[in-house]
Structure 1
Amino acid sequence: METTNIKAFGTEAANAPLNEMNINRRKATPHDVEIEILFCGVCHSDLHTARSEWGPSMYPCVPGHEIVGRVVNVGGHVSKFKVGDLVGVGCMVDSCRECQYCQEGLEQYCEPGMTGTYNSPDKHLQDTPTFGGYSESIVVDENYVLRIPENLDLAATAPLLCAGITTYSPLHHWKVSQGMKVGIVGIGGLGHMGIKIAKAMGATVVAFTTSESKFAEAKRLGADEVVLSKDAGQMAAYRGKLHFILDAVSAEHDINAYLALLRVDGSLALVGAPEQPLPVAAFSIIMGRKSFAGSMIGGIAETQEMLDFCGEHNITADIEMIDIQNINEAYERLLKGDVKYRFVIDMASLKNKN
């Protein structure tokens, strides 16, 4: 297969910093869209994968799955996009397309496994991993490319491709709507999107944080009420009051304290990814027929639905723009939670010399 050599930023090993490198991309096949990458969000998954913290990573590793760009070339059979279109690519670039989940539009749960935007075996280039958005361009099958609403700021839209769909999907699945009281736990990259989206769905939003300094921030993002989760009295006031809770915390925390806040038949969906198991007491779910669930990104159709919803409600992420040359420093800040609320790389910086 014909390839072209492009610039990217990635790493050769778990303990090595990210540096400029050259990678090969396939040239567009009949069903492919070639995209010049304009902006790429920085997700915690990027850091974990670059450092091989979620199982063995494939090297070289070029992270990035919150991609916004412009179509610069299309294959001869492409019908959904044309040169000049503003598009996005999220966490996956392919799936088997044949299993029951792919058929149902749940490609993220593909039985043989979806093809991740990075760190997956490349279906087209043998013995090569897929390379993500920390690069000049990307070539993706048109069925895994998304249309970006024209009214949204492009840089601030990039994080919607992961953080946006990760929070929209469970809120949509559990039918969050007007008249419901919804808890959002953790006000970070995921949580701040959860607040905005739940509010736009019509819910009364209750934000939970361990830090009083985030109260004003949570209100600014759209929370109707804010609770200091370390304060037993404040937590007790919400016992049995919430229809749904979206838990976006990746650190160890007491899940039972939040399950207690659900109404009968309420559900808590975990989208954060704590490293250690979270103990769940049997009576936390038995009493009240409660559900403790999880959720992972969304299918292609649902991701497009999320983008359209965000376009309609003018929702984007709160971002801090960086140059690609500052990615290693951004990773260190990410580890400390020192970002409000998502780093986004201006990929024009990749054209600059270090």
Structure 2
Amino acid sequence: MLFEPNDQGLILGKNPVTIGHEATGTVVGRGSGVAANTFQEGDNVGFLCAVECCFDCTNCRTVHNSWCITGNTKMQGFTLDGYFQEYAVVDARAAMVLPKGLDVNTAAPLFCAGVTAFHGIQDCELKPGQWVAVIGCGGLGHLGIQYAKAMGLKVIGLDIADQALEEAKTCGADRVFNSIKDKDWKERVLEITGGGVDAAVNFTASKQSYDDCPPIIKPGQGLLMVVGIPREPLHLNALDIALGRYRVKGSNNGTCYNMRPAIEFSAKHNITPHQSLYRLDELPKMIELMNSHKAQGRMGVIFDGGKSNL
């Protein structure tokens, strides 16, 4: 069901909450504020998880819903019930009808992971033929590699899990390295790229992987794109930044204002999330696979009429 702010029914402050923050589904009802010419019952839709924000302030429009001036933003699947359930109430302003070519049962990971990966690559503003390093080739990175190849870029995949690197090859990476096993990987990257990558996009939550990025970035206009968020603070050399050794930029996980280009690009270029499907009662197995770095692509639970992903 789709809702507008005046509709009631969300339960605030629940703990624990139902997880799952990526989903697609089929519209079964509209709130009173949703125009019939925007969504029809039976439409296959996807949506982002931010609710309780205004969607209209400068922060919502140009930065991220997390910084809404109301200070009321909630994220379904984190602070409110998410999508690992048969029915969900979502905000119509953060939803869109799926383009032709996207299947409602397989497109769910695009609505966060896909939008994040797309903008993580596109916001580097590289030209076809330039080199990009994708750090972390799993749930986000395997999509980032597909987007990069569709944009005409040359890709080096970096990971510490061999199965993720196999996934990277399947997605089109030109070269891959295991940054633990391949002791000379930095020297080889510099050799392959002729002095360093034009951008390094880090999809991981590893501080070490961020520390490893500067030596492989081409001096001058090379870019470190921050996407993954480690628990520890990042330490960047101020002299490197001041003297222009490389630039630093961030790319967030998407808003309703930059969602549509990512989803339409995905449909046009047949970007497909690699995923494994599980029953809802297999959730502990899914978490175990993630914690052991054995997960490949995305993992999801499918319900009748829709799909949600972790």
What TM-score does the superposition give when structure 2 sets the normalisation length?
A: 0.84
Identity %: 29
1:336-351 aligned at under 5 Å gives the runs: 336-348=292-304
The range that moved more, 332-341 or 170-179, is 170-179
Aligned AA for 2:136?
G
Alpha-carbon separation, structure 1, partners of 2:275 and 2:256: 24
Aligned AA for 2:60?
C
Aligned AA for 2:110?
L
> 1:220 pairs with 160, 164, 170, which one?
170
- The one-character-per-residue Cα deviations of 1:194-248 (angstroms, maximum 9, x if unpaired) are 1111111111111112345654432211111223324353312334421111101
Note closer, same or farther for the CA distance 1:282–1:143 as it changes in structure 2 (3 Å cut).
same
Alpha-carbon separation, structure 2, partners of 1:256 and 1:59: 36
1:167 maps to 2:117: yes
- The one-character-per-residue Cα deviations of 1:66-104 (angstroms, maximum 9, x if unpaired) are 111001112344231111100012231342234212243
- The two structures, once aligned, show a CA RMSD in angstroms of 2.8
Equivalent position SS for 2:29: strand
> 2:16 pairs with 56, 60, 72, which one?
60
Is the Cα contact below 8 Å between 1:91 and 1:117 reproduced in 2? yes
The range that moved more, 261-270 or 82-91, is 261-270
Alpha-carbon separation, structure 2, partners of 1:27 and 1:252: 39
Aligned residue number for residue 68 of structure 2: 110
The range that moved more, 296-305 or 170-179, is 170-179
- The one-character-per-residue Cα deviations of 1:281-336 (angstroms, maximum 9, x if unpaired) are 34443454412333320121211211111000111210000011111221122211
Alpha-carbon separation, structure 2, partners of 1:252 and 1:31: 42
Alpha-carbon separation, structure 1, partners of 2:203 and 2:57: 29
Equivalent position SS for 1:184: strand
Aligned residue number for residue 189 of structure 2: 238
Which has the larger strand fraction? 1
Shift of 1:117: 1.8
Aligned residue number for residue 257 of structure 2: 301
Shift of 1:133: 0.4
Structure 2 regions of 5+ residues with no counterpart? none
Alpha-carbon separation, structure 2, partners of 1:247 and 1:109: 23
Equivalent position SS for 1:269: strand
The range that moved more, 272-281 or 97-106, is 97-106
Alpha-carbon separation, structure 2, partners of 1:254 and 1:243: 17
Is the Cα contact below 8 Å between 1:94 and 1:144 reproduced in 2? no
Aligned residue number for residue 132 of structure 1: 82
Equivalent position SS for 1:320: strand
Aligned AA for 2:77?
Y
Aligned residue number for residue 247 of structure 1: 202
Aligned residue number for residue 213 of structure 2: 258
Alpha-carbon separation, structure 2, partners of 1:105 and 1:276: 23
Aligned residue number for residue 97 of structure 1: 55
> 2:40 pairs with 64, 73, 82, which one?
82
1:152 maps to 2:102: yes
Is the Cα contact below 8 Å between 1:31 and 1:142 reproduced in 2? no
> 1:331 pairs with 267, 287, 303, which one?
287
Structure 1 regions of 5+ residues with no counterpart? 1-25, 35-56, 121-129
Instruction: Return the structure number with greater relative CO, CA threshold 8 A, min gap 6.
Output: 2
Alpha-carbon separation, structure 1, partners of 2:2 and 2:164: 47
Aligned residue number for residue 276 of structure 2: 320
Alpha-carbon separation, structure 1, partners of 2:84 and 2:164: 31
Is the Cα contact below 8 Å between 2:21 and 2:78 reproduced in 1? no
Equivalent position SS for 2:228: coil
Aligned residue number for residue 141 of structure 1: 91
Is the Cα contact below 8 Å between 2:2 and 2:27 reproduced in 1? no
Alpha-carbon separation, structure 2, partners of 1:165 and 1:262: 24
Alpha-carbon separation, structure 1, partners of 2:2 and 2:116: 31
Is the Cα contact below 8 Å between 1:155 and 1:344 reproduced in 2? no
Shift of 1:256: 3.5
Alpha-carbon separation, structure 1, partners of 2:222 and 2:27: 43
Is the Cα contact below 8 Å between 2:135 and 2:209 reproduced in 1? no
The range that moved more, 95-104 or 154-163, is 95-104
Is the Cα contact below 8 Å between 1:95 and 1:115 reproduced in 2? yes
Shift of 1:58: 4.9
Aligned residue number for residue 271 of structure 1: 227
Is the Cα contact below 8 Å between 2:109 and 2:298 reproduced in 1? yes
